[in-house]
Structures are given as structure tokens and as C-alpha cells.
A and B are shown apart, each in its own frame.
Chain A
Amino acid sequence: MNTFLSRLNTIFAFTLSVMAALTFCCFLTTAFNSHKSKIDIGTSKVTVKNVPDYSADRERSDLGFVVFDMSADLTPLFNWNVKQLFLYLTAEYKTADNVLNQVVLWDKIIVRGENAILNLKNANTKYYFWDYGNGLKGNENVTMSLSWNVVPNAGTLPKVMGDGRHRIQFPTEYSAGRF
């Protein structure tokens, strides 16, 4: 009955159940957090060009250029069940072809322990702002917002939009030249 192996098996099974229960409790302690925070976004330069999109279908598409400022303090979002924050700056707008367009312009991973204070000045976008078609020129209602995906040690993966958005208007003329 009480062989070495059966005792080992019992200890192993018990350890696993205790760990599972503790992990679940850890998840419960942070399950109802709102993960909200205030963000300031601004833009200093907005232009649009019309060039062939060689990364996609090679059609002439609108390519937006946005130089932006952003400041936020995300330190309060971290607790013992937050492994990392995935921040992403989204431009959301409507065109004649598509009722909803969302393009991520910039993103950043903040792992727990890293500096979670953002202070960007005259930053360029990390990804190209390609529209799917020609819907950026003269578009007066492009909303920029910062959201984050909270990645826990164990638990749900909430997606939260920061308080504070910024509306940009694209010029009605394509800009010539390289930039």
C-alpha cells in the first residue's frame, strides 16, 4: 500500500492542487480591477501622400504621416498579477469603402519592473499608416487613442482604452516631395 512511489504520487498530486488553487485565488484578487488610466495625446504634424503600397496590393493608397506627443503614467496599473502591458496607439476612422478602419501606429511592451512613465515628444509612428484605399486625404475625423492589453501571470487578458483621445484632421491636399 504505502510504497515509496504511491507516497511520491500523493505528494505530487497535492502540490499540483495547492498550486492550482493558489493561482486561481491570485487571479480572483485582481479580476475586478478596471485597469483605467488617463492619457494625453497630441500631434504636431499631419500630412498625407498618395503612393503605391508595395507591402500590399501595389495600388496607389493613402499613406498618412503623423508626428505625435504622448504622456501618461501607467505605474498604478501594475499589481502582483500583471506580467506586462502591451500598449498600442490606434488610429480609428471611417471611409467611403469601410465603416470602420483601425490601424495601429505605434506599440510598446512594458514588462513588470520597467519604467511605466511615458513621455514622448515628436515621436514618429512605428508602423506605416496605410489606408486600405484613398480615404485619408481630407478626412477630418481620425481618432487617435492609446489602449493596452494587460497580460497577467494567470487570468484573463483585458483590453482597456485609456481616457483621453485626440482627433486629427488630414489636409485636403497630398503633400509632394519625400516628406
Chain B
Amino acid sequence: MSGMLSFEFLDDVRRMNKRQLYYQVLNFGMIVSSALMIWKGLMVMTGSESPIVVVLSGSMEPAFHRGDLLFLTNYRQEPIRVGEIVVFKVEGRDIPIVHRVLKVHEKDDGSVKFLTKGDNNSVDDRGLYAPGQLWLDKKDVVGRARGFVPYVGIVTILMNDYPKFKYAILVCLGIFVLVHRE
């Protein structure tokens, strides 16, 4: 039955009985929910709201290129220090930015102000912050880069650049999971 290289998958679905159909749907649900569980589990373990990010711009070249993958942690007790690569969010921008810390000023109550800059940019990030914002502080931080793997996120980049490609992949995967039988 399986592995048929044809567009007769609809026949395939028709030939399934009800139990098999339920099984396939439940299977699909399992895949989605375990992916969600892993993601949420990582969030708890790393303390970061987004433990894995894909580099979307070339502002950290030659260290990180578009499509590279970063693993983040964001533990409260770890202080923010100069030279660290932080991922932060700026008000009014949806996409988090991955840049390096250039200046840190920390008060004795633990509150900290810091300034960032991309390795490949010639000026610091004050032009990227919200209007009138001069410093970042702890609540802006999504995570600190701890691990690096090249190229792995390239599919994300392709999906971002070509939305049609994204929908094609999603549809194919969905059909495959629902129809595929061992």
C-alpha cells in the first residue's frame, strides 16, 4: 500500500476505514503536541522565551551569517557583561535583534543599562532602538547566545523570503502525515 508514487492518495484515504482515519488524525495530533512540548520544555530549561533563534540578518558577519542557528539561555542570576551576544526586542519591532554588548552600567540594586552594536555595523544600535531610547535593560533581553550551529536555519530563511514555499511545504507535510500508512 504505502510508498505509492502517484496522485491517487485520495483513493488511499477512501480505502481507509474509520479507525484508520482516526488513528492518522491522532498521530498528526501527537506530532504537533510533542513538538510543542519540546519547545515549551526548552523554554523552562533555558529561561528564555525563545531558546532557539535563526539569524536573519548579516549584521553579525563574519561570526554569524543568515540562516545560522543560535541556542540561547536567559538565566536571571547570570549578569549581562560586555562582549556577550544578546538577543533583544525593541518596542515597535516584531523581530528580535542579535547583537553584541558594547557598554554596561550596573547599579548596586542590580539594575543595568547596556548598549549594543552589530559586529558588521559601523555604529552602535541607538538608531535601531525605539525613538528616544538610549539604553537597553534586562527586560528587553530574550536570551544570550550560548551555542552556534551553521546553516541549519536556512529553511526558515527560505520560508521567510518565499511565503509560497512555506505553504507548499506545510501542505505536503500535512498530506503526507495524514495519508502515509505503514
Interface on A for B, CB 8 Å cutoff? 1, 3-6, 23, 55-57, 83-84, 86, 88, 90, 97-104, 109, 111, 127, 132, 147, 149, 151-157, 159
A-B contact pairs, 10 of them (CB 8 A): A4-B5, A86-B119, A88-B83, A101-B105, A102-B81, A103-B82, A103-B103, A154-B148, A154-B150, A156-B148
Q: B134, A56: Cβ atoms under 8 Å?
A: yes
Interface centre among A84, A97, A111, A151 (most CB of B within 10 A): A151
> Using Cβ atoms and an 8 Å threshold, which residues of chain A touch B84?
149, 159
- In the complex, the chain A residue whose C-beta lies closest to that of B85 is A157
Which B residues touch A102, using CB under 8 A?
81-82, 103-104
Tell me which residues across on chain A come within 8 A of B103, comparing CB atoms.
102-104
Which residues in window 94-108 of B have CB below 8 A to A?
A: 100, 102-108
Additional A-B contacts beyond A147-B83, A151-B64, A159-B84 (8; CB < 8 A): A84-B62, A86-B83, A86-B100, A88-B83, A98-B107, A104-B83, A149-B84, A149-B100
Q: Which residue of B lies closest to A112 (CB)?
A: B62
Residue ranges of B at the interface with A (Cβ–Cβ < 8 Å): 3, 5, 62-64, 81-85, 100, 102-108, 113, 119, 126, 134, 145-150
Which residue of B is nearest A149, CB measured?
Answer: B83
Q: Which of A1, A23, A55, A84 contacts B63 (CB 8 A)?
A: A84
Kindly state the separation between the CA atoms of A155 and B70 in the bound complex, as whole angstroms. 10
Are B107 and A99 in touch, CB under 8 angstroms? yes
Q: List chain B residues, Cβ under 8 A from A152.
A: 148
By a CB distance below 8 angstroms, the chain A residues around B62 are 83-84, 109, 111
Please tell me if the beta carbons of B107 and A97 are within 8 angstroms of each other in the complex. Answer: yes
By the criterion CB–CB under 8 Å, are B105 and A132 in contact? yes
Instruction: Enumerate chain B residues within 8 angstroms of A4, measured Cβ to Cβ.
Output: 5
Cα-based distance from A144 to B177 in the complex (angstroms): 59
Q: Are A151 and B107 in contact (CB under 8 A)?
A: no
When distances are taken between beta carbons in the complex, the residues of chain A under 8 Å from B145 are 157
Q: Is the CB of A98 within 8 A of B85?
A: no
Q: A104-B102, A154-B149 are in contact. Are A109 and B119 (CB under 8 A)?
A: yes
Across-interface contacts of B107 in A (CB, < 8 A): 97-99
- Nearest neighbor of A53 in chain B, beta-carbon distance: B134
Residue of B nearest to A161 (CB): B83
Could you tell me the distance in whole angstroms from the C-beta of A86 to the nearest C-beta in chain B? Answer: 7
Known: A98-B105, A101-B104, A155-B147. A88 touches B63 (CB 8 A): no
B residues in contact with A156, CB < 8 Å: 146-148
In the assembled complex, the CB of B120 is this many whole angstroms from the nearest CB of chain A, namely 9
Residue of B nearest to A135 (CB): B105
Residues on the B chain within 8 Å of A147, using CB:
82-83
Contacts of B150 in A (CB 8 A): 153-154
Closest 8 CB pairs of A and B: A102-B82, A100-B106, A102-B104, A151-B63, A132-B105, A99-B108, A98-B105, A104-B102
Q: Assuming the A-B contacts A101-B105, A102-B104, are A90 and B85 also in contact, with contact meaning beta carbons closer than 8 angstroms in the complex?
A: no
Distance between Cα atoms of A151 and B145 in the complex (Å): 11
A147 to B100, CA, bound (A): 13
Scoring A23, A97, A98, A109 by chain B CB atoms within 10 A of each residue's CB, the highest score goes to A98
